[in-house]
Amino acid sequence: MNLIYQTNKLSQEWNQPLIFAFYQEKILVETNNDRLIIPTPLDLDNHGIIIDKKLYIGIINDHPSYIAELPADYPPLQPKNLNFVGLRGLFDAVEDNVFWAAGRAFQIMNWHRTHIFCGRCATPTQNKTNEIAKECPHCGLISYPNMAPAVIVAVIKDDKILLARNKQNLSKFYSVLAGFVEAGETLEDCVRREIMEEVGIKVKNITYFGSQPWPFPNSLMLGFTSEYESGEIQVDGVEIAEADWYRKDELPATPGNISIAHHLIEWFKNRF
């Protein structure tokens, strides 16, 4: 993996490793001239923060990168330029590629926490040295980081796009529809099922658009475009609070540009 990451000049010159240090569900960041950066071991040493156990997760722009977890009784941070930030708190606060790197670290950390013991025989697992995986020394079971595939779909009817507001989301954003792929289901079948379940319409001409990792919590978003075939909008009332067709000049508030939902909506706007 070779993500582009802009860190401070000293770290670039010394090719320092990057440490994605977590305390509960938050990541440690340093504020430098109103920018949030991922600290290096040198940065942490300068602040008296000692990391004794870490897990290698790959290379990010020629920097060896690690995750580490700080104990639950870790004392409050003293330097004012160090803070623990939730992953969503990095939206618009760092470059996009830094966010995706933090998202990768967040997903691997959650997997690391939940696979301490073998799921088959409950023996404590060991980290494999040649890949990001855990191996049971007793029964040999190998476990990899979890990844849940999900589809996200732009549905077009004439010169309008279908947008909906999620019932569980407190924000007022409207977005394209999405849902997780079930066992034994093709991606296209998932698109048809999710659209029918959530808004009661049939779609056709399903076309692949692109993909995006999404670390909330462990998703791989697979984007599609499709065309309206038949039916009237009937929201399920469980996941979807309201949905409607919108022209490009009457769009409601939509997701920010870091999400694939934004790119699907932009595709619609440029097409019409």
What are the pLDDT digits (tens) for 179-230? 999 999 999 999 999 999 999 999 999 999 999 999 988 999 999 999 999 9
Domain boundary among 69, 94, 114: 114
Cis amide bond preceding 217, omega within 30:
yes
Contact call for residues 83 and 32 (beta carbons, < 8 A): no
Is 137 domain-assigned?
Answer: no
Is 140 domain-assigned?
Answer: no
The tally of domains found in the chain comes to 2
* Same domain flag for 101 and 186: no
Return the minimum-mean-pLDDT range out of 103-107, 165-169, 241-245: 165-169
Binned at pLDDT 50, 70 and 90, residue 115 comes out as very high
Is 174 domain-assigned?
Answer: yes
Is 196 domain-assigned?
Answer: yes
The CATH number of the domain where 152 resides is what?
Answer: 3.90.79.10
* Same domain flag for 201 and 255: yes
* Same domain flag for 249 and 154: yes
Q: What is the pTM of this model?
A: 0.86
What are the pLDDT digits (tens) for 8-54? 333 333 478 899 999 988 999 988 877 888 998 888 888 888 887 88
What are the pLDDT digits (tens) for 51-89? 878 899 888 767 889 999 988 787 777 767 888 999 988
Which range of residues forms the domain containing residue 180? 148-271
